[in-house]
């Protein structure tokens, strides 16, 4: 994991088209602004994990099934 220090209004580039900007710092919370192309989904981790869980439930695939599929590809 790369760890960087930034001040308010400073940014970090990811590749050529994703910019993460420190918008505000209040106590132990940091507000980030994220500029990314529309075809790149951006979610908080807990939201991403919930979406992934719901998609797996809707498809009827169990987490153990995906682990077995990964092993069978090797």
So where are the chain's domains? 8-60
pTM recorded for the entire structure: 0.70
Give the pLDDT band of residue 60 (cuts 50, 70, 90).
confident
Q: If you average pLDDT over residues 60-65, what whole number do you get?
A: 69
3-state class of 11 per DSSP? Answer: strand
Angle CA(23)–CA(35)–CA(27) in degrees, nearest 5? Answer: 20
pLDDT over 90 at 33, yes or no = yes
With CA atoms as reference, report the closest residue to 6 among 14, 54, 15, 24. Answer: 24
């Amino acid at each position: 994991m790369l760890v960087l220090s930034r001040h308010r209004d400073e940014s970090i580039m990811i590749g050529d088209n994703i910019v993460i900007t420190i918008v505000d710092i209040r106590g132990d919370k940091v507000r980030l602004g994220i500029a990314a192309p529309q075809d790149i989904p951006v979610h908080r981790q807990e939201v991403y994990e919930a979406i992934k869980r719901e998609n797996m439930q809707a498809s009827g695939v169990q987490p153990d099934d995906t682990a077995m599929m990964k092993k069978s590809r090797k």
